[in-house]
Chains A and B, each alone.
Chain A
Amino acid sequence: DTGVSQNPRHKITKRGQNVTFRCDPISEHNRLYWYRQTLGQGPEFLTYFQNEAQLEKSRLLSDRFSAERPKGSFSTLEIQRTEQGDSAMYLCASSQQGTQETQYFGPGTRLLVL
């Protein structure tokens, strides 16, 4: 399968703990996005990488959130001191810069903070 992969698929943690999610984009894609999706809502943009550079961060991404994309390949999203309000599906998408650009989404990581 050469699609976008995300790990873990599910994460249960206690409030106050740190969690880290990984996204492996489609190999030739230079753009990578993170979104958050809560129950009954559409995904909301969190942040965007072009290669290894993080070019935009949403105001939804508080100081407790940090994302990296070392070497422009895989990306990680870390949430420090998790809160119950962080419970959501975290989706990663990748695309190749171009005129017919299409974002391909991974299956997501579902986070539950107890």
Chain B
Amino acid sequence: QQQVKQSPQSLIVQKGGISIINCAYENTAFDYFPWYQQFPGKGPALLIAIRPDVSEKKEGRFTISFNKSAKQFSLHIMDSQPGDSATYFCAATFRGGYQKVTFGTGTKLQVIP
């Protein structure tokens, strides 16, 4: 059972463009939604995260938009750069207790010059 669905599977964006990755979750008990960035040969690294009581969170060029009623959230990368080329995972977990993170299937982003 895939609890976090992610799209698209891959994305090609021109340098300077906006990259948008979408996710949907099923379990309404999730209360923390992190995004991870993974480069080849590396483990995932936390990029930005949001709680469901907030509709938007921005950190630099990265913005999460959250729609609690639709159980959807998305990552926007503004002014995308070649160095942003990586695989991005949306995820969901619980803030209370330990964090057993449920990951989406990933989006491979390629930013071309």
Q: Which residues of A contact B (CB under 8 A)?
A: 4, 31, 33, 35, 40-45, 48, 50, 55-56, 91, 93, 95, 97, 99, 101-108
Contact = CB atoms under 8 A, between A and B. Distances in A.
28 contacts: A31-B98, A33-B98, A40-B105, A42-B104, A42-B105, A43-B44, A43-B89, A45-B100, A45-B101, A45-B102, A48-B100, A55-B98, A56-B100, A91-B44, A93-B43, A95-B98, A95-B99, A99-B95, A101-B99, A102-B46, A103-B99, A103-B101, A105-B43, A105-B44, A105-B45, A106-B43, A107-B41, A107-B43
By DSSP majority rule, is chain B's interface helix, strand, loop, or mixed? loop
Interface in B61-85: none
A42 B43 contact: no
B99 A42 contact: no
Given A42-B89, A42-B91, A4 B43 contact: yes
